[in-house]
Amino acid sequence: MSRLPSVLFVCMHNAGRSQMAAAWLRHWAGDRIEVRSAGSAPASAVNPAAVEAMREVGIGMSAEVPKILTTDAVSESDVCVTMGCGDTCEVLPGKRYLDSKLDDPAGQGVDAVRPIRDAIRGLVEDLIAAMDVTPAHGTG
């Protein structure tokens, strides 16, 4: 049996952008892609506005907790998607990196987080298409 493709989403606090991206990918890819998220300086909890924004589209992530970025997480991932963390994200040779410049939802209300959520949705849809993985759920 071949190993599943794997994706790591990274943002500074692993409390908003990377958590939403991971939730979208888990929702659509099901068990077809291994999904991880982490942060270089993890927050103590996931951003409640991000949790609410995802709940609005039927995706739960209230049980998620921010995780520290490790070299192992990077080395075990086929694709690393950085989300505005600048030079603090671990870079290893031979890995595929994608960088997304997305607004930081930290300290924002759900009204400000919705457009970030929707931009992340588009990023994840493009990623699934590029990885040539059939979504477990429709992305439309």
Q: Which residues are catalytic?
A: 11, 85, 89
Distance CA(107)–CA(113), nearest Å, equals: 10
Tell me how far CA of residue 3 lies from CA of 24, 31, 35, 39, in angstroms.
Answer: 21, 12, 13, 24
Domain boundaries, the chain: 6-131
CA nearest 61: which of 110, 106, 24? 24
Banded pLDDT at 60 (limits 50, 70, 90): very high
Architecture of domain 6-131 in this structure: 3-Layer(aba) Sandwich (3.40)
- Quick: pLDDT tens for 87-123: 555 555 556 667 777 888 888 999 999 999 999 999 9
pTM of the shown model: 0.88
Average pLDDT over residues 13-26: 95
